[in-house]
Amino acid sequence: MIIESDCNMVVDAVNTACEDLSEFGCIVRACRRLLLQSHAVFSKFPPCLTPRPPLRPPRLSQIGSNAGYPLTFWIPGGVKPGTKNVHSLWLEISDGETLLVDSFPPLRTVNVVTVRILGKDNLILVESRQELSDGSVRDRFRPLSEKMKPNETLEEAVVRAVEEELGSITDSGAVRIVSGSYRKKLEERNSASYPGLPARNVLHSVEVWVEGLPDEDFCTEEKEEYVDFDGTRGLEKAVSVRKHYWKWVNSESVCS
């Protein structure tokens, strides 16, 4: 009975690890042989070993996993239109934009700058939807938002966000932050980009004026979010934002 119990523990442990399938198969076969050899002793307990299907994530997903569970266990990403995949998350982590807390399940923690761009007649600019690199579209209806970089100040993050997401339509780049408009808010919910992964967003919100924006609805294109200096980051596997669709709405219709 002890041998059978030990074998089952071995298989359970292997099932929760990110091992190669061939190596997993060898371990299972060895356990089966051990059970058959002990069958004479444990005739009342015939061998029965039906392990769960092993998880086979990409190597990058081993980073930040908990108790041997790969990120793909929590992030089926890319299956549902308008979501991102584990490759996208790895780029966020490697660039320092996202911290993955090693909890159960893992917790995605992000500092986000929310730029409430003001317009005339009490209007505010919101991103109505995004077009992703895989061709899918996701609804947004929120002010310009951008993940903050490590050691980046609020002012630097605001300017960068405007340049990256609105730079293709405005050349002036003149950005003025409204004094006293800063607000900080903690938001905890399931991640919209990575369904199944809990998220803790620290939102840093400011109101700004940006010169040179159209008065009507418009669309902008974003440059590549990440840089691949040595060709090893697998940018082509990640899902990223390609186009932003903007519209002016009454400021009272947008949550602060």
Which pLDDT score, from 0 to 100, does residue 53 have?
Answer: 42
Q: How far is residue 96's CA from residue 109's CA, in Å, rounded to a whole number?
A: 11
Measured distance CA(32)–CA(38) in Å, rounded: 10
Q: Rounded CA gap, 240 and 89, in Å?
A: 10
Query: Measuring CA to CA, which residue among 229, 249, 226, 247 is closest to residue 237?
Result: 226
- The pair phi, psi for residue 237, each rounded to 5°, is -85, -20
Between the alpha carbon of residue 57 and those of residues 16, 86, 110, the distances in Å are 12, 9, 24
Strand, coil or helix: 254: coil
Which pairs with CB-CB distance under 8 Å and at least 24 residues apart come from 50-53? Answer: 51/11, 51/12, 51/14, 51/15, 52/15
C-alpha span between 115 and 179 (Å, rounded): 13
Q: What is the pLDDT of residue 59?
A: 46
What integer pLDDT is reported at residue 250 of this predicted model?
94
Tell me the whole-structure pTM to 2 decimals: 0.69
In the chain, count H helices and then E strands.
5, 10
pLDDT at 179: 96
pLDDT value, residue 171: 65
Q: What is the dihedral of CA 166, 167, 169, 173, to 10 degrees?
A: 100
What does the alpha-carbon distance between residue 175 and residue 208 come to, in Å, rounded to a whole number? 7
For residue 50, the model assigns a pLDDT of 44
- pLDDT attached to residue 54: 40
Q: Running along the chain, 256 residues long, what does each successive block of 10 average in pLDDT? A: 47 45 54 57 46 40 49 58 86 90 86 96 96 92 96 95 86 85 95 89 97 93 77 77 95 82
Helix 2-15 and helix 21-37, axial crossing angle in degrees, nearest 10 = 170
- CA gap 48, 35 in Å, rounded: 9
The pLDDT, as a whole number, for residue 28 is 53
Count the residues in the chain. Answer: 256
Q: In one letter, which amino acid is 135?
A: G
